[in-house]
Structures are given as structure tokens and as C-alpha cells.
Amino acid sequence: MAAHIYLSTIYSFLSTYMENKITLLCICLLIFVIGQAQTTQQRKEMVKAVDPIHEQELKQFILKRSKLNSKEVSDYLTTNPTKAIAKTSDGEFKWLERIDGNGNPVYLVPYNYSGGLTIGVDHLHSGGSLGLNIEGQGITAVIWDGGYSRETHEEFSSRVFYGELGQNLSDHGTHVGGTIISAGSSILSLRGMAPMGSLNSYRFDDDVTEMFAEAQNGSILSNHSYGVEVTQNTPIAYFGRYTESAIAFDFIAFRYPYFLPVVSAGNDRGQGFNPNDGGYDILTDRAVAKNLITVGAVNNVFRYSGPSSVEMSSFSSFGPTDDGRIKPDIVAKGVGVFSLSSDSDTATGVKSGTSMSAPMVTGGLMLLQQLYNEEKGIFMKSATAKGVALMTTKEAGSDPGPDYRFGWGLFDVEAAANMILNLDSSSSVMENELESKNTYEQIFVSKNNERVSFALSWTDAPGREVAFDAEEDLETPNLINDLDLKVIADDGTVFYPYKLNKDKPRSAATTGVNNVDNIEIIHIDAPAGNYRVEITHKGELSETQPYSLLVNGATPQTASSSSEEISGLSIFPNPANEVVNITFDATTVSSKVSVQFYNTLGQMVRHESFNNNGRFNQQVNISDLGSGVYFVQVSDGNLKSTRKLIIK
């Protein structure tokens, strides 16, 4: 592969170069996946559903974006030739990425801060309380930073690979990489979140092009501990704005539904930026995107005893976005983080910043994806992984629910892992699609837990870029496909998801119809009985919308038998192939009988109605149903029984 060329030096040959680079990256990435537990076949399965026309549309978007940025950068460097590369106050490189609408240079900088986490990964590690050995084995994350993680560091043990050639080592990138996968072999406190995982390491100056190639190759997680440099000259209107970088990140995640970027929120609070909003509304750039996880930084939590245990750092950037979305999404430790340094193969260092909290979340998600794959034989879509992480957080902040400081709360890997371990017994994951004008309904039975939680999560189509000179804090939602979640109890009580008011950023969350977020969460304390879930949408969907429905503390009604059994019910043969016979003594059953077939996602795939004349004996053709496990529910409107059926 030719040496990587950063954006500021790509001139008239850019289009040809980028076409070749994407191809070369894909070839190089194929080498990285050999021998990994995330198999080549699994990677192919995750990307095979991508429409070639949609893929080409995304590719052309990236090429057009890069060509325009390159020309503007080239013109700027003609009169400012020394401005391509600079250094931050702590010696890290910053790179010229683009020119803003006012003609000013926009630099990418590592999100570091001079300035401390308990997210529960130890419970999944060997010897942990869950009795597992989940340490990132075979899971590879991709990291973009100011330079490479030092591959020869003794704590990496040959688990860092370079995605491009001829680049510089980065102390910041090595520290971030260590937080994710350091083995902790020399000092236990150096152990990363996924101490047996692997990394593909890139420099951040051409991240979008390289992300596209990684997503094409089936990557599932990426870490971005950087963002645009904010100065006193940054226009106030830029804070919270949905910009071209956010659009690019959303576009890639939308087209590749297993690819989940994790991004630092930034360290700009307390610096005097956007003073009229009192510390709020200072998120920028990539951190504003919809289809990723934006991470804030908090102090170390030695022992969680309630929301007050989670103390906000002095620097972590607060939301909201201009359209009022809940950002940041989640928090993790980012103050006083002890990790690796690039000075030598044994060097260590302490850093603080949202750069340090983001890799905590990336590493934790590696463990959850590994666990899910071991339990189910597949990986979670990004909307599922994001939903599981956000609906199981530890409460943080002064009020229940999310806020614009802590997002949904402190990442709790143990709670998320328990939800995965309890799938089909007290929790459910359903990855479905919603067509325009359609509604999804399903009844769930609560399991007498202290809380039942419902989450609707989806990767949305990229929004529309806002003009650079547009007014501050535009309220127009960036949602393209606006889905809605509603839960109705047996007594008619209706539960709506949380939402926030961007005009009152300090106020507690309320519940109601959410018009801006592409993840909606409902918590019901002291649940009892059944709950009917309704998923609908507003307006017209731009195309069929995939979504993840996640339920913790309840399971679909069809997966359990009614207490009012139909006497003598028999379903045979089992396993079945072409047909199945259903018989029972019909003397206690009414004249109409309904037979419904459900798959393991709780979706009804067949509904037959029969007249009841004496002994019930009917044969149902199932030749069009695929192989797998089904639940057959037989009901007359009063009595109801469910039986498990295997179709070969």
C-alpha cells in the first residue's frame, strides 16, 4: 500500500487516488481478519444485505466530500503553506481537515485534558462474578487517532495492526489503545477493558474514507477520541450543529448496520465558549451525529451507591444538539486514567479527557459483542448494541432519566451482560423492519422484576447539512425516519419514552412523544401483568426502516403457555417438515379455533382459523416456513395453549 497521504496534500489526482485507496484498504483489511474469532464468513454475512446501489451512493458522497475539502484546503495552503500541520499545547499533532464557511481552517485534535471508572468489565473477565471468560478474544476494534498505537508495546502482545503505512506513533493513540486492549501483564492496573482483544490503528486525518473501507469489510466497532479544535474564534452557531462530519458518520453507520462508532464528547466546558448557554450546548462535529455513541467523562466511581456516586468531570462537554437530541449518550471514567505511553515498549502514563472515557465504552462493547456472539452465534447490529448499553446504565445526575450532562448514565457492562445472558428467559432482542404505514404490536409478560424496560433503537438515514451561516440553534429535527414507541398496560395506562427540552437544558426529563431521538427508552418500576408494545411512525418512511426492539424484564407472550390450557392438545410430528397435525378434545372449546405460528422473534408468521365440530383434528401445511424453532398458539378466545415446534 502506498504511504497514506493526508487531505491537505491531495490535489488534482484525489479521485483516482481515493478509488485506489479504498480498494487497497479492503485488501489490507482482509489480512487482518484471518485467524480472528469474528470470522470472514460472519463479516460477509453482516454486509451482504447492503444494496450495491446504496453502497455506490455512499462511495460517491465520500469522494465528493473529500474532493471539495481538498480543493478548499489546497487553495488555503497556497497562501498559508505552514498551516497544514501544527501541535497542541501538550505536544500532540493536530491536522488541517477542512476550511469552514468563513474561510477559517478547521483542525482535528486529540481530545485530551490535564486533569478519573467503574463500568463493571471485571464481572465478565476470567474469575469475575458472572463466571465467564469474556476478555475480547477474537474481537477487533478500529481506532483512529493522531497517530498509531505503539504496536511493539509489551502490553499489546502483537494484537495491534496498522491500517496504513509510514505514519507516526502517537502517545495519545497508544494511551487510548491501551485503555481498550492492554493485557495488564506487568501491572494489573494497566489492564484494558478487553485485554485479549485486537486493534486496527489509523491516523485520523482521512477517517471517513478509511471507515467506509472498514465497514465494507465487516468491522463492528470504532473509537474516535478526537474532534475539531474549538477556539475563541469558533462561531457560536457551530455548537450543537449537525455538520458534514456528522452526516458522513451517520451515512456509513446507516448503510452498514453492524458498524458502531464511539466518539468523545469533547473537553470544552469551562473554557468560556458559548457563554450565554451556561456550560450547555458546546458539542461539535462528529459528537453530534445520530448513529453513534457519544461519550462524556466522569470521575472514578469507587463504589456505586446511587446517582450521586457519579461525579461529573470539570471539562466534559454538555449537550444538547440544536434539535434537542439526548447527547452525550453515556458517560465513563475519563479523569486520571492510567494506561500506556508510546515512549518505549514499557512506558506508561496518566491522562484525562473524554478521549479516555470513549475507549472505556469501546472496550466494554467489545466484551458485549463477544458475549452475544457466544450466546447466539451472531453479532448485534449497532442499533441493538447501542440500545442494550443505554437502557442498562447506572442512573447519574440529580433527576431520574437522561439529561444533557450524563446522557443516559454511567455505562454498566455487568447489567448489559446480564440482559444478554437472560435472553429468552427475562429479556428479549428483536431486530425487525417497519414498512411505511405499518404498525408493529406485541404483548410482553413481565417477570416480576423491580423494573421492566423497553427500548426502540434504529440507525437513521443521514440528515441534511445546515448552512454554515444559518441562525443559531435551529430547531428542525435531524430525524429522517421518525419511529415512535408506546407501551400500554393491562389496565389501560399508557407509557411514553423519555425526552428532554433543549430550551430548558437543566430541567428534568419528561415523558411523551419523542420527535427528535433515534433511540427511545421506557422504564416501568414495580411492573405487573402484561404490556402491549406499539411501534409506529410519523409521515412517510424514506425506505423500509430496520429497528431493534429491546425488552429487559419481560418476554413475548407467545413464548410461554397460558395457565388456561386446552385439554389434550397434541401437535405432531415434531420435528415436522411438510405438514403438522393439531388435535385435541373439542368439547370444552368454542366453535371457532385460531392457530397462530410465531418465530423466536415474536413475529406471527402464519394465522389459520378453523370451525370446531366435535373432536378437533386439522392438518396445516408448513412447507413454506423456513427451518427453525416456532411457537404454535391454539386459542378459542378463552382457552389458549402454546407449544414449541421444530421445523426441519
Residue 75 DSSP SS3:
helix
Closest CA to 648 of 571, 572, 573, 577: 577
Alpha-carbon distance values, 31 to 84, 152, 616 (Å): 32, 19, 60
Map grid coordinates 447466539 to a residue: 376
Domain residue spans of the chain: 7-421, 427-558, 570-647
Structural contact between residues 203 and 145, judged by C-beta atoms closer than 8 angstroms:
yes
pLDDT 10s digits, 491-541: 889 999 999 999 999 999 999 999 999 999 999 998 988 899 999 999 999
Alpha-carbon gap, residue 383 to 367, rounded angstroms: 16
With vertex at residue 29, the alpha carbon angle to CA 25 and CA 35, rounded to the nearest 5 degrees, is: 170
Structural contact between residues 96 and 73, judged by C-beta atoms closer than 8 angstroms:
yes
**What pLDDT is recorded for position 472?**
67
Closest CA to 250 of 463, 100, 432: 463
**What pLDDT is recorded for position 564?**
54
In CATH, the architecture of 427-558 is: Sandwich (2.60)
Structural contact between residues 84 and 105, judged by C-beta atoms closer than 8 angstroms:
no
**What pLDDT is recorded for position 1?**
30
Tell me the pTM: 0.79
CATH 3.30.70.3270 fits 7-421, yes or no: no
Exposure string of 619-641, with b = 16+ CB inside 10 Å and e = fewer, is ebebeebeeeebbbbbbbeebbb
Which residues lie closer than 8 Å to 81 by C-beta, 6 or more apart?
A: none
Q: Can you read off the three cell numbers belonging to residue 285?
A: 462535529
Alpha-carbon gap, residue 480 to 265, rounded angstroms: 23
**What pLDDT is recorded for position 432?**
93
Alpha-carbon gap, residue 464 to 460, rounded angstroms: 12
Alpha-carbon gap, residue 433 to 383, rounded angstroms: 12
CATH 2.60.40.3080 fits 570-647, yes or no: yes
Residue 299 DSSP SS3:
coil
Alpha-carbon distance values, 322 to 190, 250, 412 (Å): 39, 16, 28
**What pLDDT is recorded for position 93?**
62
Residues of the chain under the 70 pLDDT cut = 1-37, 85-95, 108-118, 466-473, 558-565, 586-591, 601, 614, 637-638
What is the DSSP code string of 30-62?
Answer: HHHHTT-SS-HHHHHHHHTTS-HHHHHHHHHHH
Output the furthest CA–CA distance in the chain (Å, rounded).
93
